[in-house]
Amino acid sequence: MESQPSALRCGIGYDTHRLVAGRKLVLGGVEIPSPRGLLGHSDGDVLSHAIVDALLGAAGLGDMGRFFPDSDPRWKNAESRIFLETIRGLLAERKLEIVNIDSVVVLDEPKLAPYMNQIKESLATSLGIAAEGVNVKAKTSEGTQTDLAVAQAVVLLAQSEPRA
């Protein structure tokens, strides 16, 4: 059998959104009680967006703006779960399976530890994988970025069948 240099594919994603009053705080599809939420054209789910970009990167499909431009009224206040589900379909069409996802959210307040399992479950459900395949780490900025949330993600995909 020929070697398959494309059998495993990694991707990286990054996103940031401003924290403002009067918005919901949604991370990984989970609404988290907070006096401030993330500003954005969609729901501002910085973690889901970083994961979407990492998955698109690993698949060689460009970036989130190509599929879900913020100039498109369809995505106004859209739940980012829809973006994850769309990517899930794109990966399936290409016989690409998610091996694992690792991610970091940088946010000072609120603390995410109580919601971490729920966030992982939510992401895994949207992507159709086991929760064990998703890791989310919470960090603070140590007070250096109190008005921002930042997320980074890396993913590994495996080609389940050789491409034609």
Residue 61: partners with Cβ closer than 8 Å, 6 or more residues away: 67, 90
Q: Which two tokens stand for residue 44?
A: 């501002």
Q: Decide whether 16 or 159 has the Cβ nearer to Mg ion.
A: 16
Query: Between 66 and 142, whose beta carbon lies closer to Mg ion?
Result: 66
**Min separation Cβ 149 and Mg ion, Å:** 10
Question: Residue 114 Cβ, how far from Mg ion at the closest point, in Å?
Answer: 24
Nearer of residues 49 and 81 to Mg ion, judged by Cβ: 49
Q: Do the beta carbons of residue 120 and residue 136 sit within 8 Å?
A: yes
Residues in contact with Mg ion by CB under 5 A are 15, 49
Between residues 45 and 97, which has the closer beta carbon with respect to Mg ion? 45
CB of 86 to Mg ion, least distance (A): 15
Sign for the CA dihedral angle at 102, 15, 68, 18 comes to: positive
Least Cβ distance, residue 15 to Mg ion (angstroms)? 4
Q: What is the DSSP string of 84-127?
A: HHHHHHHHHHTTEEEEEEEEEEE-SSS--GGGHHHHHHHHHHHH
